[in-house]
Amino acid sequence: VINYSMAAWDLSVTVEDLGPDAPPVTLSVTSELHVGGVILKLVEKTQIKRDWSDHALWWEQKQQWLLRTAWTLEKYGIHADARLLFMPQHKPLRLGLPNGMTLRLRACFSSPVFQTVIGICRMINIRHPEELSLLRPVEEKKKKKDKDLAEEIYDLTEVPLSSVSRPCLYNGMPAHFADTPQMENIYKMLSVTQPLPAPEVIAKQYRPASVVDKAHINGRWLDSSRCLMQQGIQENDRVWLRFKYLTFYDIDPKYDVVRLTLLYEQARWAILLEDIDCTEEEMMLFGALQYHISKVSQSEPQMLSSSAAMDDLESALQSLEVKMEGENFTVLVKLNCVNVCFRPKRLTLKGYKQYWFKFQDTSISYFKSKEESIGEPIQQINLKGCEVAPDVNISAQKFLIKLLIPAPEGMNEVYLRCENEHQYAQWMAACRLASKGKSLADSSFQSEIRSISSFLAMQKSSPGSHGNTPANDESIDTHSLVSPRYHKKYKAKQLTPRILDAYQNVAQLSLTDAVMRFLQIWQALPDFGLAYVVVRFKGSRKDEVLGIAPNRLIRIDLGVGDVVKTWRYNNMKQWNVNWDIRQMAIEFEGNVNIAFSCVTADCKIVHEFIGGYIFMLTRSREKSDTLNEELFHKLTGGHEAL
């Protein structure tokens, strides 16, 4: 009997190191030979003395790395017609950062992108790499050839790859940045906020004009569970590194200088390019903070931990909570007798009606008058799971709270109007807590009120306190501080005093505090953290938009731009994808099922967003340093994971 598996046959392998014109190397192999044996034969035949430990075989037709060196050719299913390449697993990649800079570094092309990002973050000293990912850049129109040459690239390809989860720091930077002055400059570029962008730079950038435009960027995220090579990314290609999951864990200015700087840059560009909506007053405050941060960062070399309050907002709040426990009961009583006006959506033309309101636990009840508040309310509204958005104009003394309350047929819109900012801060804090299912007795109630009050104070104009105003108004370029929309609406000489006015309220902040404050206000915007995807719901004949937020999904009607329905992750029982028809199905408590197909992004991207946010909710303080990769892939991968 002839054993064909032992019969020798020829396998040809292209060795990248021999150069692009070298012919493939032909080896005589049997199907029983394992991959490690093939590599050994290959290395012997090339006769090049070098370290081959990073090299591996790539199977072109199957788009697959042969990383299991103990597997035989037969087990992999490799025959004589297989096109194999022998090349390094780590190759140079051009990485576009949120601040517009480009790094050239060695990245892993054979691991899942999730691990590749961990490696990149380790190199540039960013903690919690699970919050970031890679995406394909938006194509820029090439006008002149010299524009491509002008791009400054910072080279980190010589940095050895480390497997330590947290690098040793010298002078506050990882050791490999302390080696030479050039490397030190690169770290400085990573950890210091960039100067204000020139107006023409802002003008050239792509600005989304609609929710559908905003949705297209999310079709560009790379798949976390597949490697760069499998997604068509080649050596020296350009990809963007961005914060993808906007839920930031354990921010500490002592250790997170690079993370905070890049986060600030991403937030700043989101504001300048109108990626996220904000009110006019908020825009002036963002402008003032940018002006201040730019000014201070020229004098302070880098962010330093300035105050305990800014460590991590949460840990600061937790220490406050202990002190606040005793103060809650009086507030509870106070909020039971505040007079607020309100307007349901149906009555938009009739203005506001006045009612007597009571706030209790997570519900508000309203009555015709104070006297009737002993009896049955006209209506009781449970705020758990509702959306809470501010609608405030301080100069006009307008303090509105917009509530979107889930109802079977969609969302009910209710506006509460407060008489003054003190009342607004209390009610806003109460509504925010209630939407998360927390009552007024919760220990974070007081700190929530303080945070809202300080935010309002920063937006106030302060006449007569122009001590810190720059001597001449020319030193402030409003085009670099606010989005282009405001330059269409106002002249620079109208914007300058308004930005300088807001600047009075932030001029005392240190660099770290100013950056933290900027991020805090960004995170408080109603649309913060929303990633949009155009979808087609099962049974519907029109495209709609799905907004994916850190804690919920939102269905948005494209015609009017209104929120139709909100579903919270904590009510989600299961979600899965039918890969054959590319349709996603989600089941919520209370027998609620939804299904949709995706128009502007692959359903794997949507699946990964939802699973990723649910993964972020599992992180706890005790285990902050160990990342449960397996769980991440389980939640984000669908059946295609790994």
Average pLDDT over residues 413-427: 87
At how many degrees (to 10) do helices 445-459 and 511-524 cross?
Answer: 100
DSSP bridge pairs for 321: none
Instruction: State residue 304's pLDDT score.
Output: 46
Average pLDDT over residues 332-338: 46
Radius of gyration, CA atoms only, the chain? 28
Task: List the one residue out of 312, 616, 309, 328 whose CA is nearest residue 444.
Answer: 328
Average pLDDT over residues 138-148: 56
How far apart CA 234 and CA 236 sit, in angstroms, is 6
Residues of the chain above pLDDT 70, percent: 83
Average pLDDT over residues 496-525: 92
**What is the CATH number assigned to the segment(s) 9-88?**
3.10.20.90
- Residue 355 in contact with residue 341, Cβ under 8 Å? yes
Instruction: State residue 43's pLDDT score.
Output: 94
The helix or strand, by DSSP H or E, that contains position 466, with its residue range, turns out to be: none
Structure-model confidence comparison of residues 373 and 400, the more confident one: 400
Instruction: State residue 230's pLDDT score.
Output: 96
* pLDDT at 342 > cutoff 70: no
Domain ranges of the chain: 9-88, 92-139+150-244+248-259, 340-440, 531-637
Instruction: State residue 387's pLDDT score.
Output: 83
Instruction: State residue 347's pLDDT score.
Output: 45
The helix or strand, by DSSP H or E, that contains position 175, with its residue range, turns out to be: none
Task: List the one residue out of 546, 565, 529, 526 whose CA is nearest residue 277.
Answer: 526
Instruction: State residue 389's pLDDT score.
Output: 83
* pLDDT at 206 > cutoff 60: yes
Express each pLDDT in 4-47 by its tens digit: 557 899 999 999 999 989 999 999 999 999 999 999 999 999 98
- Residue 560 in contact with residue 574, Cβ under 8 Å? no
Residues of the chain above pLDDT 90, percent: 43
Per-residue pLDDT band for 522 (boundaries 50, 70, 90) equals very high
Per-residue pLDDT band for 465 (boundaries 50, 70, 90) equals very low
How far apart CA 225 and CA 602 sit, in angstroms, is 14
How do strand 398-407 and strand 387-393 relate by DSSP bridges? antiparallel
Structure tokens that stand for 625 in this block: 């340093």
Handedness of CA 488, 494, 499, 501 (dihedral sign): negative
DSSP per position, 269-338 = HHHHTTSS---HHHHHHHHHHHHHHHHHHHHSSS-----GGGS-HHHHHHHHHHHHGGGHHHHHHHGGGE
How far apart CA 12 and CA 34 sit, in angstroms, is 15
Topology of domain 340-440 in CATH is PH-domain like (2.30.29)
Topology of domain 92-139+150-244+248-259 in CATH is Ubiquitin-like (UB roll) (3.10.20)
H helices then E strands: how many in the chain? 18, 26
- Residue 101 in contact with residue 154, Cβ under 8 Å? yes
Q: What is the largest CA-CA distance in the chain?
A: 103
Domain 9-88 and domain 531-637, same fold? Reply is: no
Per-residue pLDDT band for 487 (boundaries 50, 70, 90) equals confident
The angle formed by the CA atoms of residues 392, 525 and 494, to the nearest 5 degrees, is 60
How far apart CA 380 and CA 363 sit, in angstroms, is 7
Amino acid (1-letter code) at residue 572: M
Express each pLDDT in 426-461 by its tens digit: 999 999 889 888 888 888 888 889 888 888 887 776
Judged on CB neighbours under 10 Å (0-12, 13-18, 19+), 487 is middle
How do strand 363-367 and strand 353-360 relate by DSSP bridges? antiparallel
Instruction: State residue 305's pLDDT score.
Output: 41
- Residue 614 in contact with residue 546, Cβ under 8 Å? no
Q: What is the mean pLDDT of the chain?
A: 83
pTM over 0.75: yes
* pLDDT at 530 > cutoff 50: yes
Alpha-carbon distances, residue 80 vs 59, 344, 477 (angstroms) = 12, 73, 66
Structure-model confidence comparison of residues 197 and 462, the more confident one: 197
Structure tokens that stand for 191 in this block: 């950890």
Three-class DSSP category at 4: helix
Structure tokens that stand for 253 in this block: 């200015």
Which residues have C-beta within 8 Å of that of residue 129, sequence separation ≥ 6? Answer: 117, 118, 120, 121, 122, 627
CATH code 1.10.357.10 for 531-637: no
DSSP per position, 402-456 = EEEEEETTEEEEEEEEESSHHHHHHHHHHHHHHHTT--TTSTTHHHHHHHHHHHH
* pLDDT at 597 > cutoff 70: yes
Per-residue pLDDT band for 70 (boundaries 50, 70, 90) equals very high
| Spatial strand order in the sheet of 55-59 | 25-29, 9-15, 84-88, 55-59, 64-66
Buried/exposed 364-382: b ≥16 CB within 10 Å, e otherwise: bbbbeeeeebeeebeeebe
The angle formed by the CA atoms of residues 453, 458 and 459, to the nearest 5 degrees, is 100
Per-residue pLDDT band for 410 (boundaries 50, 70, 90) equals low
Q: Which of 195-209, 248-262, 263-277, 622-636 has the lowest mean pLDDT?
A: 622-636
DSSP per position, 569-615 = GGGEEEEEEETTTTEEEEEETTTEEEEEEESSS-HHHHHHHHHHHHH
* pLDDT at 139 > cutoff 80: no
DSSP bridge pairs for 381: 364
Q: Which of 154-168, 186-200, 363-377 has the lowest mean pLDDT?
A: 154-168
Instruction: State residue 54's pLDDT score.
Output: 94
